[in-house]
Amino acid sequence: MAADNTTMQQAHEHRINGQYDDALELYQQVLDENAENAEALWGMGLSLMNTGEFDEALEMIARAAEIEPENQLYLLDAGKHYTMLGMYDEARPFFERVIELDAGSKHGVEAQKQLSYYD
């Protein structure tokens, strides 16, 4: 598990630094060990989005939100990515779920802001 955490941390660092190919390789290593690792799916999705692989990115982020339906960050990012692709009807339930979980959190406030654009 420690190696898994180290690999995940390195993957996040590569993603944050714009080294998406390196990040993707490390996220894949984690997913090879555990295909249901929501954090790795989310990170891979963000990395893929930055490389222009929008459909695959959205699948990864939505899958992370499905695995951890209480994780406001994954839900919010799924909603944002659907919105970015012009898929507003698909985005709305993600934002609504974030608000339902905790409207007062920073993610809840962001979800409310995102929904305000829809009215």
pLDDT reported for residue 1: 46
7 and 58 in a single domain? The answer is yes
Structural domain total, the chain: 2
Distance, in Å, from the CA atom of 23 to the CA atom of 57, rounded to the nearest integer, reads 13
- Average pLDDT on 28-57 reads 96
73 and 52 in a single domain? The answer is no
84 and 58 in a single domain? The answer is no
Report the chain's mean pLDDT, rounded to a whole number: 94
pLDDT reported for residue 3: 55
- Give the domain extent around 101: 69-119
Say yes or no to pLDDT of 34 above 70.
yes
Task: List, as one string, the DSSP characters of 10-45.
Answer: HHHHHHHTT-HHHHHHHHHHHHHH-TT-HHHHHHHH
User: Dihedral of the CA atoms 47, 53, 59, 64 (nearest 10)?
Assistant: 0
